[in-house]
Amino acid sequence: MTPMPNFSLEGKTALITGAGRGIGRAIADVYAQAGAKVYLCARTASEVEAAAAEITAAGYKAEARACDVTDVAAFRALVEALPRLDIFVNNAGVNRPKLQLEVTEEDFDVVVGLNLRAAFFALQSVTRKMKADGGGGSVINMSSQMGHIGCEKRALYCATKWGLEGLTKSVAVELAPHRIRVNTICPTFIETALTRPYFEDPAFLEFCMSKIKLGRLGQVDDITGAALYLASDASSLMTGSAVMLDGGWTAE
């Protein structure tokens, strides 16, 4: 019989940024349950320390690493100090929804600084280590459906996520000879503590529901299955691709 796909992360090590809450925290939980040792990274030490403590209390392997990923040198040092690294989820991100005509230089610097600049150099630090270690690896860049479409009040955010999509494809080509795979996950609007206030606006909620063909907002556990697939050997032939978790938003 054809063997079952291997979704186990047993013996692997994963680093997740933006892991104190929301999508990043959920991915860390699932990776730990799949057998990986997880390093949870975020700039708020109390959040990742509490998250790591909960994971270890449940019998799994986790450690906290407080770091602001916009500090390129600090994040590089964090990565270089890890004993090994098989999986990286480049998840930290920010949004400031505004019409393009209203975006300030400070808005630009904050959103591009985290979503693209920090993501680029985090990716660089991780893939340098993976290449040097020689064991291959899987990188998951957390993108968005907004990396494939345009949307009102999302010009700045779209610019960063379209950039991340192009970066992913280019790096996937460069690193394939080293057995390092690079893909993106592209969610629609996911209901978290951070995004929930958006949906208190009835007009915005109605707009989202008109676009999401499956008729509901995303939840963090809609993301974790794809994240596990991309991290595992089940996706061993997949690189330079985008996994659309948008409820059909981009289908038309």
Bridge partners (DSSP) of residue 184 are 141, 242
Q: Which residue, among 26, 16, 225, 249, has the nearest Cα to 147 in the 3D structure?
A: 249
Q: What angle do CA 146, 241, 69 make, to 5 degrees?
A: 65
Q: Which of 31, 39, 60, 157 is catalytic?
A: 157
Alpha-carbon distance values, 94 to 9, 27, 60, 197 (Å) = 29, 18, 29, 15
Question: Which residues touch 183 (CB under 8 Å, ≥6 apart)?
Answer: 138, 139, 140, 141, 168, 172, 230, 235, 238, 239, 240, 241, 242, 243
Q: What order do you get walking across the sheet with 242-245 strand by strand?
A: 61-66, 37-42, 13-17, 87-90, 137-142, 180-187, 242-245
Question: Which residues touch 93 (CB under 8 Å, ≥6 apart)?
Answer: 18, 114, 115, 119, 142
- Is the Cα torsion angle 202, 208, 214, 220 positive or negative in sign? negative
Tokens of 99: 């019409």
Per the annotation, the verdict on 157 as an active-site residue is yes
Which residues are part of the catalytic machinery? 157
